[in-house]
Structure 1
Amino acid sequence: MEIVKIPLIIERGEGKVLWGRVEYNGNLITDFANSIPELEEKIKILLFDFEELNPDNIQFEHQFDIYSLFQRFDFLKISTVAEHAGMNPGLLRQYVSGAKNPSEEQAKKIERTLHKLAQELQKASIFTS
């Protein structure tokens, strides 16, 4: 069977709840959960119920808001990411907490910084002596 790649938009709901949404065949499918794996599972069940898609053949392409991104990659230090992005760490913390929302320009700046850091990590190698 062919893998179906579907964009899954993940964003903060009330409290620490995550909301997810996909659009498939013109239908908007949404649900919420406490974690990304739980959210993926629930959305896959809905895609099976409404669209008869085999859950084993679904691959999600994640699109995060700032809060859900830092929840998913909880090993990232907000202050370090902010420093690499040339922004105030307090401002990035406000974005992550949901107290403020970044502009599209600020969001792209954070995204570019994360991609640059990921490229640097890919080049890193570890050796033993």
Structure 2
Amino acid sequence: MEIVKIPLTIERGDSKELWGRMEYNENLIVEQAESISELEQKMKNLLWEFEEVEPNTVQFEYQFDISALFQKFDFLKISNVAEHAGMNPGLLRQYVSGAKNPSVDQAKKIENALHELASELQKAIIIA
């Protein structure tokens, strides 16, 4: 069974619902849900319904807007991520709330900071 990797873009709507979109065979598929797991299941169902892609063969590659990212990874502290990105925490809070949208450069700074933090975590060793 071959795994099908599909980019899934996830954005948070005005009333905090999540919207997902993906392209498959040049078809745009869009759905909304309350959680990422629910959204993932709905998207797999739509892929089966329209494209006859077996749900258990689908692996999504997530792409998040800033609001959805901090909803998914709610353990992240906005002020700490902002510090690592070299930006004002208040500005990052505005991005997360949807009051403002980051430029491409600002989004890249945030993404790089998150990747740097993840790299640091991967090197962590816990002793007992």
TM-score for the superposition, normalised by structure 2: 0.99
Which aligned pairs between 1:91-110 and structure 2 lie closer than 5 A?
91-110=91-110
Q: Which residue number corresponds to residue 127 of structure 1?
A: 127
**Percent of pairs with identical residues:** 73
Deviation at 1:118, TM superposition (A): 0.3
Which aligned pairs between 1:1-129 and structure 2 lie closer than 5 A?
1-128=1-128
Deviation at 1:13, TM superposition (A): 1.2
Letter in 2 for 1:3: I
Superposed CA offset, 1:47-104 (max 9, x none): 0000000000000000000000001111000001001111100000000000000000
Letter in 2 for 1:8: L
- How many residue pairs match? The answer is 128
Q: Which runs of 4+ in 1 moved over 3 A?
A: none
Give the match's secondary structure for 1:19.
strand
Give the match's secondary structure for 1:11.
strand
TM-score for the superposition, normalised by structure 1: 0.98
Give the match's secondary structure for 2:96.
helix
Deviation at 1:14, TM superposition (A): 2.3
Give the match's secondary structure for 1:76.
coil
Give the match's secondary structure for 1:61.
strand
Could you tell me which runs of 5 or more consecutive residues in structure 1 were left unpaired when the two chains were aligned.
none
RMSD value, Cα: 0.5
